[in-house]
Each structure stands twice: as structure tokens, then as C-alpha cells.
Amino acid sequence: MSPPPVWLMRQAGRYLPEYRETREKAGGFLDLCFDPKLASEVTLQPIRRYGFDASILFADILLIPQALGQKLWFETGEGPRLEPLEDGKAVAALDVDGAADALSSIYETVSILRSSLPGETDLIGFAGSPWTVATYMIAGRGTPDQAPARLFAYQQRDAFEALMDVLVESTAQYLLRQVQAGADILQLFDTWSGVLPEDEFARWSIAPTKALVERLRALGVTVPIIGFPKGAGPLLPRYVAETAVDAVGLDPSVPLSWAVAELADKTVCQGNLDPLLLVAGGDKMLKAVDTIIEAFDGKPFVFNLGHGIVPQTPPEHVGQVVERVRNR
Ligand code: 1CP
């Protein structure tokens, strides 16, 4: 059987010494994201090392809140911080129409990448799904369970609905511009969809993603769209059917036999090696690669991790996984 295409979420990042060097040169993380030369350089680093089948634009899902007018900064060693959104008034003040224009340096990065990458290497553009981006906008930071946004959605439903509308429109415009600049595929990261009960999942993960996909199609975007609703579990088939994404990312907790039975005939599956096995390495890692590929034999499938590469990953393990995927 021919090997599936392979790329890894967070394939550019702190586990690579050359990334740490470029990031140092840029100053802060946001300086790196907004410098087209340096951002394209770190995007290309893992392609040079490993020859992945796809490259993912180096940027962040939190650039949209910043472009909408929310203050964003990164605390060294801690992560992102935003000035929390507190009510409908703050939502109404967001600059929907100006957001996509504020991100023009990102499109410049995309266009540098499309002309620097080998023709056979697909370029993936991305954004966060509205729900996941909103969780950060409301909490102002990462939290273990995104309780602030969940509570906000229950207590101030109209304001939350308005925030979803703002994010659907600004994200559609942002992704349209990425495609116009040369992105071949789009991925929507819904990292926090798994904290939602069923009705809330339908309301805040599925419905805004469906609206975003519809808006992109209405704007003339025809490239494939990958949805990644992390932690969606048994709600994955419903997510795929209702959002009309073209492919779905599976996190490491999704059982392979279940995914093959419930999803593999309906969509393209992508995943789902545990990022911690990539840290551990050895036979366990290689066997898990084999098990995943064998499970999806004959089905449309893209090999990936079930979530992003973590900083303590030994770079040589990444090379061993790519080699195993291609030469089994
Ligand atoms: O110190 C550093 O160098 C910053 C670490 C880092 C990196 C490498 C952050 C901060 N963002 C990124 C890049 C990034 N983020 C990419 C680049 C492309 C790639 O190689 O994959 C992508 C796709 C993202 C997406 C992203 N950012 C997500 C969704 C995917 C996921 O990992 O769940 C989320 C939740 C973020 C927010 C964010 N940005 C950075 C951090 C540390 C976080 C998580 C914050 C938290 O929850 O506490």
C-alpha cells in the first residue's frame, strides 16, 4: 500500500534548535509571527529537515482577537494573555471590518511560502474555530477547562452569540485572504470543543464552524477544509456531517476501530499519534505508527499527531516517524 501523506501539528516550534535561534532573533513571539521573512523561515525549517508533505503557516490563532482590537501579549515562559472581554458592550466594540486588513503581513508570509516551497508540498493556512478563540478572548488566558467562556455562554447568551458572529465573519475574511495569497488547504483548530456538553457543542462548536465553512464557500473558497474538534469523541460524526468540513483531525483519545467504522467512509481522517509517544520514542512509538496506518488501510487518510508537538520532543524521533510512515 502507498504511504499516506504526513505532516505534524506544531511541526515548527521550540523542539527545533533552529526555531529557538530564529525566535531569539525576532525578539518576542508576536514579532516572529508578524515578520514575513522570519515567519516563513521557521515554517520552512521542518520542511528542510523532514520533507513533510505539507507545510503549515507559522502564526497563531490569537492574532484574530488582536486584529479585532483586543490587547494581546505573551508572558515569557507562561503563554498568551489578553485583556478579558466582559460583556456585550466589549463585543460590540470589536472591529470586524478592519480585522482582515490588520493581518496583511500574514498574507505576505503565505505568499513568500508558496513561492519558496517545493511544488509538491501543500501549504496549510489556518485559524482557530470561533468557540476556541472565544474561550481565550473571555478568560484572557489559557485555563484548564475554559470555565469562564462556558459560564459566559450560559449567562450572557446574546452577547456570546454576537461574539460568534464577529468571529465567523472576521475569520472567513482572514482565511479568504490566506487562500488568495497561496494557501492550498485550511485547518480550523477547535482545541477546546471537548469541554462542551452535547447541546452546547452543537451551538458553539458545530453551528459557528458550519457558518464559517458556508461563508468561505460563498466567498469562492474551494480549497479543502480540515476541522479539528479536539475532544469531540462520539460527537465527531455529527460534527463532520453538519459542518461540511472535508477532513477531520482525530485527537489521541479517538479509538481507531471506532473512527474507521464511523468516519472513514464519510470523510478524510487525520491523526492521531499521541505527542507524548513522540517524546518517548523507541519501538512503542514505531508500533503505534504502524497500528494507525494499518487501521486506515484503503481509506483516505493523512498521518499526523493527535495534538501538537511538545517542546521536549527529541528532533530525531520526528525523523524516525516520517521514515516509518514512508518506508514500512
Ligand atoms: O514560545 C514560543 O515560541 C511560542 C509557542 C507557540 C507556538 C510555536 C505559540 C504560543 N503558538 C505557536 C505557533 C502555533 N500556534 C501554530 C503554528 C503552526 C504549527 O507549526 O503548527 C499553530 C497552528 C498554533 C495554533 C494554536 N495557538 C492553538 C490551536 C492548536 C493547539 O495547539 O491546541 C492554540 C490553542 C493556540 C494558543 C497558544 N499560542 C501559544 C500557546 C502557548 C498557546 C496555548 C495557550 C494555552 O492554552 O495556555
CATH number, domain of 151, equals 3.20.20.210
In 202-314, the DSSP E strands lie at: 225-229, 247-249, 268-273, 301-305
Kindly tell me if the per-residue pLDDT of 1 is higher than 80.
Answer: no
Cβ–ligand 1 distance for 11 under 6 Å, the answer: yes
Ligand 1 centroid to Cα of residue 260, in Å, is 29
Given a cut of 90, is residue 77 above it in pLDDT? Answer: no
In a domain, 8, yes or no: no
**Does residue 175 form part of some domain?**
yes
- Residue 136 annotated as catalytic: yes
Instruction: Based on the residue annotation, tell me whether 141 is a catalytic residue of this protein.
Output: no
> Nine-digit cell at 171?
475569520
- Which protein residue has the closest C-alpha to ligand 1 atom 9? 60
- Name the one residue in this structure whose C-alpha cell is 527545533: 16
Q: What residue owns the CA closest to ligand 1's atom 36?
A: 61
* Mean pLDDT of the 236-256 span: 98
Give the rounded percent of residues in the chain with a pLDDT score beyond 90. Answer: 98
Neighbours of 324 (CB within 10 A): 19
87 is catalytic: no
How many angstroms is it from 293 CA to the middle of ligand 1?
A: 27
Ligand 1 centroid vs 14 CA: distance in angstroms? 11
Atom of ligand 1 at shortest range from CA of 62: 37
Percent of the chain with pLDDT over 70: 100
Chain-centre distance for alpha carbon 189 = 4
Query: Of the listed 53, 60, 122, 274, which one is catalytic?
Result: 60
Q: How many structural domains is the chain composed of?
A: 1
- 145 annotated active-site: no
How far apart are the CA of 9 and the centre of ligand 1, in A?
Answer: 10
Asked if residue 9 is part of any domain, the answer here is no
Residues β-bridged to residue 82? 72
pLDDT at 153: 98
**Cell triple for 248:** 477531520
pTM of the model: 0.97
Establish if 2 belongs to a structural domain. Answer: no
**Residue 176, domain member (yes or no):** yes
Which ligand 1 atom lies nearest to the CA of residue 191?
33
CB 313 within 8 A of CB 16: no
Catalytic residue among 10, 150, 203, 324: 10
Range of the domain at 235: 17-327
23 pLDDT above the threshold of 80? yes
**Is residue 62 within 6 Å of ligand 1 at its C-beta?**
yes
Residue 200, all three cell numbers:
452546547
Residue of 15, 19, 23, 35 with catalytic role: 23
Contacts of 270 (CB under 8 A, 6+ apart): 226, 228, 247, 248, 249, 250, 301, 302, 303, 304
- Is residue 112 situated within a structural domain? yes
| Residues 273-305: tens digit of each pLDDT | 999 999 999 999 999 999 999 999 999 999 999
Residues 6+ apart with CB under 8 A from 5: 53, 54, 302, 303
C-beta 84 within 6 A of ligand 1:
no
Classify residue 6: in a domain, yes or no: no
| Whole-number Cα distances in Å, 155 to 150, 194, 204 | 9, 20, 14
**Diameter of the chain by CA atoms?**
57
Cα–Cα dist 60/50, whole Å = 22
User: Is 184 labeled as catalytic in the residue annotation?
Assistant: no
Tell me, what's the pLDDT at 202?
A: 98
Helix (H, G, I), strand (E, B), or coil: what is residue 125? Answer: strand
Of residues 136, 203, 251, 324, which has the active-site annotation? 136
Q: Give the tens place of pLDDT for each residue, 189-237.
A: 999 999 999 999 999 999 999 999 999 999 999 999 999 999 999 999 9
Tally of CA atoms within 13 A in the half-sphere of 237 that contains its CB = 10
Is 276 inside any structural domain? yes
Ligand 1: centre distance to CA 265 (Å): 31
User: What pLDDT sits at residue 220?
Assistant: 98
The C-alpha cell at 235 is 460527537
